[in-house]
């Protein structure tokens, strides 16, 4: 009986697990910030949300990677060549899937600056350091806003980054 109850509870909770992790990540990031004296976080919800999103993503990442490996994503990424624009590279999960011989250069544009440390580590680990330009919100490339839509950025990305790099 207890066994059935556990099964039932697990099947009820499974669909909302990502949400529970999101609440957990927000709580952990808030507590960590306050413990380190960063009280500004109390009035900067977007910064808290960005930090929490990175923790959430890192915590669940193995599931995303496992799921993606059963889709066409790895083949699609491996087919990329020339100059690549990676909009929203996140933790850099796709970096090991690009073909080092076919991809000449990658521009990664990530609006969530809290991804930067983990992403830079992944860029180095997957040997892209010399051929990767990373732009995160609040630095370089004008002023990327976290809520800027990828398609509205494309003319700027082409004119200011990709075109000069190709000529
Ligand atoms: C689900 S994650 C995917 C990360 C990565 N592309 C991967 O395949 O693992 C979505 C990413 O897109 C970024 N993002 C959200 N809105 C964006 C926007 N308007 N422009 C560019 N990137 C955006 C997020 O910060 C996050 O890094």
pLDDT at residue 29 tops 80:
yes
CA neighbor of 91 nearest in space, from 123, 48, 69:
123
Pocket probe for ligand 1: among 22, 90, 110, the residue whose CB has the most ligand atoms within 8 Å is 90
Determine the distance separating the centroid of ligand 1 and the alpha carbon of 88, expressed in angstroms.
3
Determine the distance separating the centroid of ligand 1 and the alpha carbon of 111, expressed in angstroms.
8
111 and 44 share one domain: no
Pocket probe for ligand 1: among 76, 78, 88, the residue whose CB has the most ligand atoms within 8 Å is 88
Query: Are 77 and 85 within 8 A, CB to CB?
Result: no
Residue 9, classified by CB atoms within 10 Å of its CB into exposed (0-12), middle (13-18) or buried (19+), is exposed
Per DSSP, the three-state class of 7 is: helix
Distance CA 129, CA 47 (A): 27
pLDDT at residue 9, rounded to an integer:
80
From the CA of 64, give the closest atom in ligand 1.
9
From the CA of 115, give the closest atom in ligand 1.
27
Ligand 1 binding site (Cβ under 6 Å of any ligand atom): 87-90, 93-94, 109-112, 115, 148-150
pLDDT at residue 104, rounded to an integer:
94
Residue 76 located in a structural domain: no
Cα-to-chain-centroid distance, residue 23: 18
Look up the pTM and report it. Answer: 0.83
Distance CA 50, CA 29 (A): 10
48 and 92 share one domain: no
Residue 40 located in a structural domain: yes
Query: Are 23 and 30 within 8 A, CB to CB?
Result: no
110-167 confidence digits (pLDDT tens): 889 899 999 999 999 999 999 998 888 765 555 555 555 656 667 777 777 777 766 6
Determine the distance separating the centroid of ligand 1 and the alpha carbon of 3, expressed in angstroms.
40
Ramachandran region of residue 27, left (φ > 0), alpha (ψ -120 to 50) or beta?
alpha
pLDDT at residue 58 tops 90:
yes
60-85 confidence digits (pLDDT tens): 999 999 999 999 999 999 999 999 98
51 and 106 share one domain: no
Residue 7 — pLDDT band, cuts 50, 70, 90?
Answer: confident
For the chain, the domain total comes to 2
Q: Residue 106: which CATH number?
A: 3.40.50.150
112 and 63 share one domain: no
Residue 93 located in a structural domain: yes
Residue 59 located in a structural domain: yes
Query: Are 95 and 123 within 8 A, CB to CB?
Result: yes
């Amino acid at each position: 009986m207890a066994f059935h109850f556990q099964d039932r509870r697990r099947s009820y909770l499974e669909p909302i697990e990502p949400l529970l992790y999101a609440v957990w990540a927000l709580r952990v990031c808030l507590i960590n910030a306050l413990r380190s004296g960063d009280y500004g976080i109390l009035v900067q919800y977007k910064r808290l949300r960005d930090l929490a999103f990175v923790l959430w993503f890192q915590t669940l990442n193995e599931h995303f990677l496992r799921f993606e490996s059963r889709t066409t994503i790895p083949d699609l990424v491996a087919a990329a060549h020339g100059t690549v624009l990676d909009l929203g590279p996140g933790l850099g999960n796709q970096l090991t899937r690009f073909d080092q011989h076919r991809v000449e250069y990658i521009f990664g544009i990530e609006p969530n600056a809290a991804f930067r440390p983990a992403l830079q580590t992944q860029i180095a680990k997957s040997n892209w350091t010399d051929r990767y330009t990373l732009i995160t919100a609040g630095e370089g490339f004008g002023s990327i806003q976290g809520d800027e839509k990828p398609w509205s950025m494309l003319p700027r990305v082409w004119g200011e980054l990709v075109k000069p790099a190709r000529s």
